[in-house]
């Protein structure tokens, strides 16, 4: 249950998502929701709970277990004047709809010389740290970052979850939303959300903590690991800047570069595998565009190049940790 405060009721990440979708369904009669068990069940995690009772089966559609069919039908609806929210029950299974996403949906605006938009949001629970093992723990955002025509966002707070979801649902282009399922109901992250309508623009990072000794760039659940590491480093007398990307595509390079002008050191943290992961993309761009500001080799901490194990000690072994981040940050600061 949310906690009452003097200024309102604190809400969790999942509630922010629910409110965003419901409010956009209310304001946009052309918005349709589709996915497995999103109607009668309300979604595997409850994000779409209550939508079918309010708007009926014509706008909240339970689909068969075929991600390719779900995305394909959604694309057809977009071509006929609808906006569509597609839920992947777990983001891991987005691979089953890969062709429809990257070869059909992502390319349509280009193929029509800009005449046709594809207002589709594909969202779903993602990420590890929760014992979901190899089929329910993936962060596969780099697959789609390599596909021009798709925007990718990873909110980390209830405020951003609601504001970025609303921005995505109003966007004329396909947007992938990675919802970190371990953040859905975290009580310590609850916050009061504005009663008035608002959006969080896509393509703009957020500086979660200011500092001048090191820049840590991250997103998703790792934001909180990095903030905890920053507290550890403050005890050592160092002040670390933590940047939450929030939006991977488009990427806010300017905020990172401005931070590096102060700190001269860069550490990138994400929970996807290292090889060809998005952390490497950030390092590469900053090496090209901000090399003159760097006083130490830029570094990254990622998941090991393995599937995510189910056994908790092994799961934590392959994923970034507060201890790893603290140790690597100290090395960069003292380089």
In the chain, where the domains are located: 10-192, 206-333
List, as one string, the DSSP characters of 73-119. HHHHHHHTT-EEEEE-SSGGGGGGGHHIIIIIITTHHHHTTTS----
Q: How far apart are CA 229 and CA 216, in angstroms?
A: 10
State phi, psi for 210 to the nearest 5 degrees: -95, 150
The class that CATH gives domain 206-333 is: alpha beta
The sheet carrying 31-35 orders its strands as 60-62, 31-35, 83-87, 120-126, 175-180, 151-153, 247-249
pLDDT of 7? 60
Q: Tell me the C-alpha to C-alpha distance, in Å, between residue 281 and each of 65, 153, 224, 292.
A: 33, 15, 21, 18
pLDDT of 8? 86
Instruction: Tell me, yes or no, if the two domains 10-192 and 206-333 fold the same way.
Output: yes
Nearest CA to 84 among 104, 102, 59?
A: 59
**What count of Cα atoms within 13 Å lies in the side-chain half-sphere of residue 124?**
25
List, as one string, the DSSP characters of 267-316. EEEEEEESTT-HHHHHHHHHHHHSGGG-SS--EEEEE-SSPPPSSHHHHH
State yes or no: is 136 an active-site residue. yes
* Local confidence pLDDT in tens for the 335 residues of the chain: 344 444 689 999 999 999 999 999 999 999 999 999 999 999 999 999 999 999 999 999 999 999 999 999 999 999 999 999 999 999 999 999 999 999 999 999 999 999 999 999 999 999 999 999 999 999 999 999 999 999 999 999 999 999 999 999 999 999 999 999 999 999 999 999 999 999 999 999 999 999 999 999 999 999 999 999 999 999 999 999 999 999 999 999 999 999 999 999 999 999 999 999 999 999 999 999 999 999 999 999 999 999 999 999 999 999 999 999 999 999 999 99
Domain 10-192 CATH superfamily: Thiamin diphosphate (ThDP)-binding fold, Pyr/PP domains (3.40.50.970)
Sign of the Cα torsion 137, 124, 285, 258 reads: negative
Q: How far apart are CA 267 and CA 324, in angstroms?
A: 11
Q: How far apart are CA 309 and CA 331, in angstroms?
A: 29
Could you tell me if 101 and 135 are in contact, meaning their C-beta atoms sit under 8 angstroms apart? Answer: no
Q: Which residues contact 95 (CB under 8 A, 6 or more apart)?
A: 67, 140, 143
Could you tell me if 293 and 204 are in contact, meaning their C-beta atoms sit under 8 angstroms apart? Answer: no
pLDDT of 218? 98
Collapsed DSSP state (helix, strand, coil) of residue 229: helix
Q: How far apart are CA 113 and CA 107, in angstroms?
A: 10
Q: Tell me the C-alpha to C-alpha distance, in Å, between residue 245 and each of 163, 207, 279, 309, 320.
A: 15, 8, 11, 27, 17
pLDDT of 5? 45
Task: Point out the catalytic residue in the list 109, 136, 225, 239.
Answer: 136
pLDDT digits (tens, 9 = 90+) for 43-78: 999 999 999 999 999 999 999 999 999 999 999 999
């Amino acid at each position: 249950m949310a906690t009452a405060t003097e200024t309102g009721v604190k809400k969790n990440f999942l509630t922010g998502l629910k409110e965003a979708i419901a409010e956009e369904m209310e304001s946009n009669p052309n918005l349709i929701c589709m996915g497995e068990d999103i109607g009668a069940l309300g979604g595997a995690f409850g994000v779409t709970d209550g939508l079918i009772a309010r708007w009926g089966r014509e706008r909240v559609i339970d689909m068969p277990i075929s991600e390719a069919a779900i995305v394909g039908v959604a694309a057809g609806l977009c071509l006929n004047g609808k906006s569509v929210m597609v839920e992947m029950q777990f983001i891991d299974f987005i691979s089953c709809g890969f062709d429809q996403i990257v070869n059909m949906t992502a390319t349509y605006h280009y193929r029509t010389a800009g005449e046709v938009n594809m207002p589709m949001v594909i969202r779903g629970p993602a990420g590890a740290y929760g014992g979901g093992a190899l089929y329910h723990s993936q962060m596969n955002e780099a697959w789609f970052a390599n596909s021009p025509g798709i925007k990718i966002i990873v909110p980390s707070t209830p405020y951003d979850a609601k504001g970025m979801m609303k921005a995505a649902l109003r966007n004329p282009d396909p947007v992938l939303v990675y919802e970190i399922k371990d953040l859905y109901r975290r009580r310590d992250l609850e916050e009061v959300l504005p009663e008035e309508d608002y959006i969080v623009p896509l393509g703009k990072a957020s500086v979660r903590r200011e500092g001048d000794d090191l820049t840590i760039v991250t997103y998703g659940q790792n934001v909180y690991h990095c903030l905890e590491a920053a507290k550890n480093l403050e005890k050592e007398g160092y002040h670390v800047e933590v940047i939450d990307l929030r939006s991977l595509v488009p990427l806010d390079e300017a905020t990172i570069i401005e931070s590096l002008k102060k700190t001269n050191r860069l550490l990138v943290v994400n929970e996807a595998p290292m090889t060809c992961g998005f952390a490497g993309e950030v390092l590469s761009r900053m090496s090209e565009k901000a090399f003159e500001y760097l006083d130490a080799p830029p570094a990254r901490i990622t998941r090991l190049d393995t599937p995510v194990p189910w056994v908790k000690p092994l799961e934590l072994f392959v994923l970034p940790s507060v201890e790893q981040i603290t140790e690597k940050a100290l090395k960069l600061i003292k380089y």
